[in-house]
Structures are given as structure tokens and as C-alpha cells.
Amino acid sequence: MKIILIGGGKTIYFLAKQFIAEGQSVTIINRDPEESQALSHELDATILLGDGSDPEILEQAGTGSADVLLSMTSRDHVNLVACQVANEKFDVARTIALVNNPENEEIFRKLGVSLIFSATRIITSLLEQETDFMAITNLMAVAQGKVNVSEVRLPENALVSGKSLQELKLPAGFLLATIIRNGEVLVPSGSTILQAHDQLILIGQAENYRDVLRILTGE
Amino acid sequence: MYIVIVGCGRYGSLLADRLSCLGHSVVIIDRQKNAFKALSAEFSGFTITGDASELSVLHMAKIDAADCLLSMCNEDTLNLMVTQTAKFIFGVPKVIARVYKPSYESIFRKFGIEIISPIQLALEAFLQDLDLDRGPENEAQ
């Protein structure tokens, strides 16, 4: 497979290294003379000095016979145009662009880039997952850790909000002791409806926790 | 007409001045605040400091209400992105890009963007002025 990479920095270097190790043919287009020089010493790849969105440079890079083009510069308009030129002028089937500004995702998609990824979006979603996870606090362990008392705080977009406890079917051996809602303590029954931001105080055996959390996160 | 101009360099600033003096409402966008110093005192439009490849900046310029967008930057990729966004996402009726490097001309055409290439225009003008645009036979006469 022939892969064209546009950009610089460590990500391009390690991506190229990985692809070369897999036996792919790699061409890198980089616009910094010093970095290009260094890359050509370090990698068994074709290195071209120039602007990766320039049709002439893409021609020199043999884009016509490439299977994939990946543009990862810090400038969105360069990534967009590089992918468009590769696709429209050189018939590259798969074009992948880094989108620096998450607002631009829609534009890239509408203007025909086959795959886009946004570092901002990826890191934000990692953090969101992390905070979802952080919303579970172990309050105390009883009987040498066989039983745990924990607090789960339902996030804003909790899938279980609006559902009654009966519908959730929490596993046996598990008790939802209390719900703290807007600072008030509720003693739940089967018909109690969960809401976003509820703090649930759970008591149960450690081995059942995973199942309960799966139900509460709606997975 | 409500006209949005991207890039307040030599071309952009002159164009903005002229259109503003003709009575059109003009908004001009540039990344550098200093660039607007090139505008004359007669310019009565609005200036926006920002990157026109950001949607929020185009929204600030009320792109969805524009009759015309002229992208005059000295970066072809930026002109390509801004004009395609204006034409295909916001449906601006008249969109023209300045071509900086002649190698991008065919790309603009391929993507259906109307262009003006100062280099090509100057080239034609030189050739015409020298009366050399018809080849050596003409010279011999």
C-alpha cells in the first residue's frame, strides 16, 4: 500500500515508522527544510520538501498511485485542500484529515474528505469518560472489602434518568439505600424515577458492582 | 449589496475602499488588526479581526446574509476553504477567489469557484502592451 503523509512533528515521524515497519511505501511531504532533511536520514521513506496541498508537489509525490493520503498539519485549510486535491485530481480513494478546530468537522465532511479526526474532540471525550468514571466514589468498605458503600452521581445526560428503579432491575444482593436529590434525602421505592444529577448511595457486594454500574450508565 | 471581503492586504484593502465608496455595505476580515491600517479614511464598513477559516468568524460577519464574498488572501488553501464554505454551506450567491499561485487555478475551477488571477491578468496585459500575444509572425510584419 502506498501512503502519503503531510505534516511534521513526532506524530508524523512515528506514524511513518510504524507504516514502514508494516511494509508500506511511505512518502512524507514536509515544508520545513531542516525537518525534511532529518526525516530523510531517519526514515526509509521518500521525503518531499514543500506545501502538501500544492497540486505540483502532490504530483511529484506520485499521489496518482497512492492508496491513502493523511494530512495532519496544524492548519485546517491546508488539510482540507490537500485531501480535496488528492481525491478530485488524483483519485485517491481514502483521504484522512486532522481537524484542528472542531467547528470545521462539518465543513470537511460536506466537502468530501473521507475520514476526519479531531484531536480536540478525542481528548474532550476521553475527559468526559474520565469524569463519568470519577462520579463513582467508594465511601467505605465493610467486612474486609466484601461489601462496599458507594456513591454514584448521575451525569447530565444519564441514560437512566426518567426510568423507575423497577425498570432498571438492579441485581439481587444490591441495595440502593438512599437518593440525594437537590440536597434532600429520599428513601427510594420501586416506583422512584431517577433524575440527572441524583446522588445514589449503593450498598452491595464488590463483585456485583460492575453489573450495577453497567446498568446505571446504560451500557 | 452586502459584501464580505476576506484578507485586508494590498488587494483586499483597495477593493474594500472602492466598494465602500460606491455605497455598498462592506465587512472586511483579517487575522491581523494592523492590516486595517491600509484602509482609507473614507472606508465606512466594518472590520473583523479573526481567522476566516473559523465558522464563528464567518458567522460574526453575517455570512448567511451576504450577497457576495470575495476571498483575497495570499494563501490559496485559505481562499479555497473560505470560498467553498461560503458557496456550498452558506449558499452565498456570488463568490470569487483571488488566485495566488497559478498552479491552484485548475483546482479552483474543478471545485466550481470563480477566480480572478492577478498574475494571469498582469501577464496578459504585458503581452498585449508589447503586442507580442500573437507569436513571432506578428513581429516580422
**CATH code at A150?**
3.30.70.1450
User: Which helix (H) or strand (E) element contains residue A25?
Assistant: strand A25-30
**φ/ψ bin of B131: left (φ > 0), alpha (ψ from -120 to 50), beta (otherwise):** left
Domain boundaries, chain B: 2-140
Best mutation target among B53, B75, B90 (most A Cβ atoms within 10 Å) is: B53
**Does residue A68 share a domain with residue A48?**
yes
**CATH code at A113?**
3.40.50.720
**Does residue A43 share a domain with residue A94?**
yes
**Does residue A200 share a domain with residue A176?**
yes
**Does residue A173 share a domain with residue A206?**
yes
Task: Look at strands A199-205 and A174-181 and give their pairing.
Answer: antiparallel
Look at residue A134 and tell me whether its pLDDT is greater than 50.
no
CA-nearest residue to A78 within chain B is: B77
* pLDDT tens digits for range B22-78: 999 999 999 999 999 999 999 999 999 999 999 999 999 999 999 999 999 999 999
The verdict on a CB contact (< 8 Å) between A103 and B56 is yes
Question: How many whole angstroms separate alpha carbon B2 and alpha carbon B87?
Answer: 15
pLDDT value of position A136:
66
Superfamily of B2-140 according to CATH: NAD(P)-binding Rossmann-like Domain (3.40.50.720)
Looking at residue A44, the DSSP 8-state letter turns out to be S
Give me the sheet containing B46-49, strands edge to edge.
Answer: B46-49, B25-30, B2-6, B68-71, B94-98, B114-116
Chain A residues touching residue B56 (CB < 8 angstroms)? 103
Domain count across chain A: 2
Residues 94-113 of B with CB under 8 A from A: 101, 103-104, 106-107, 110-111
Among A87, A122, A157, which residue terminates a domain?
A122
pLDDT value of position A40:
94
**Does residue A203 share a domain with residue A104?**
no
> Is the pTM here over 0.80, yes or no?
no
* pLDDT tens digits for range A41-99: 999 999 999 999 999 999 999 999 999 999 999 999 999 999 999 999 999 989 999 99
Q: What is the grid cell recorded at B110?
A: 474543478
**Does residue A210 share a domain with residue A172?**
yes
